[in-house]
A and B are shown apart, each in its own frame.
Chain A
Amino acid sequence: KAGVTQTPRYLIKTRGQQVTLSCSPISGHRSVSWYQQTPGQGLQFLFEYFSETQRNKGNFPGRFSGRQFSNSRSEMNVSTLELGDSALYLCASSSATGTAQYFGPGTRLLVL
């Protein structure tokens, strides 16, 4: 089975721009969660989607949003980028009945 895939792997943006990141979960997995990883804050939960509905949300500003499609693929969007948004953005998927989350390789975002 193919693992979680994320595109693009690397991105460079400038302040004020917006960005969209994509995640394809493991086949059959319906839950997709997003995390931000920075040296200063570690791994922090952004949000989780299950069957196209946001089920959980972390403590991030409204500039961070996401969605999930009927095939379970998910996207997250960050609008009006700030320097502090530079981070590794990780996507993880899990099955409806299983509980382990499996992570993708991440998208490295650099905001200049």
Chain B
Amino acid sequence: GESVGLHLPTLSVQEGDNSIINCAYSNSASDYFIWYKQESGKGPQFIIDIRSNMDKRQGQRVTVLLNKTVKHLSLQIAATQPGDSAVYFCAETTAFAGGTSYGKLTFGQGTILTVHP
């Protein structure tokens, strides 16, 4: 039969606005989280990461917030630019679980960010 695609959440903002992209993760044992940006026709690009012993981490124009109590992750992009338009994915992993689950990332469904000039 027909395949049904994922219905990705969308976020539309004006250039210069701040953007907030949210992600609910599933595994309470996850101790390492990564945000990726994927542009059309390209592989996911690393943006920023955070370990479970942190609540907040800042990069250049981006901030990641982690709330372990409610298993929620957010990515804040300051002064959003048209070049930020892409699909954003959060990913979780148990990076230090005895070294046995080092390379397996579990991805969220993604959020489409559109930045209007």
A residues touching B (Cβ–Cβ < 8 Å)? 4, 31-33, 35, 38-45, 48, 50, 55-56, 58, 84, 90, 92, 94, 99-106
Q: Name B's interface SS.
A: loop
| A41 and B6 alpha carbons, distance in the complex (Å) | 7
Which single member of A33, A55, A84, A103 contacts B100 (CB below 8 Å)? A55
Instruction: Answer whether residue B26 sits at the interface, using C-beta atoms and an 8 A cutoff.
Output: no
Number of A-B contacts (CB under 8 A): 78
Size of the chain B interface, CB-CB below 8 angstroms: 28
Determine if A42 and B109 form an interchain contact, defined as CB atoms under 8 angstroms apart. Answer: yes
CB neighbours (8 Å) of A104 from chain B are 43
Determine if A39 and B5 form an interchain contact, defined as CB atoms under 8 angstroms apart. Answer: yes
In the complex, which residue of chain A has the Cβ closest to the Cβ of B3? Answer: A40
Instruction: Answer whether residue B67 sits at the interface, using C-beta atoms and an 8 A cutoff.
Output: no
Least Cβ–Cβ distance between A85 and chain B, in angstroms: 13
Which single member of A4, A42, A100, A102 contacts B107 (CB below 8 Å)? A42
In the complex, which residue of chain A has the Cβ closest to the Cβ of B99? Answer: A55
In the complex, which residue of chain A has the Cβ closest to the Cβ of B44? Answer: A103
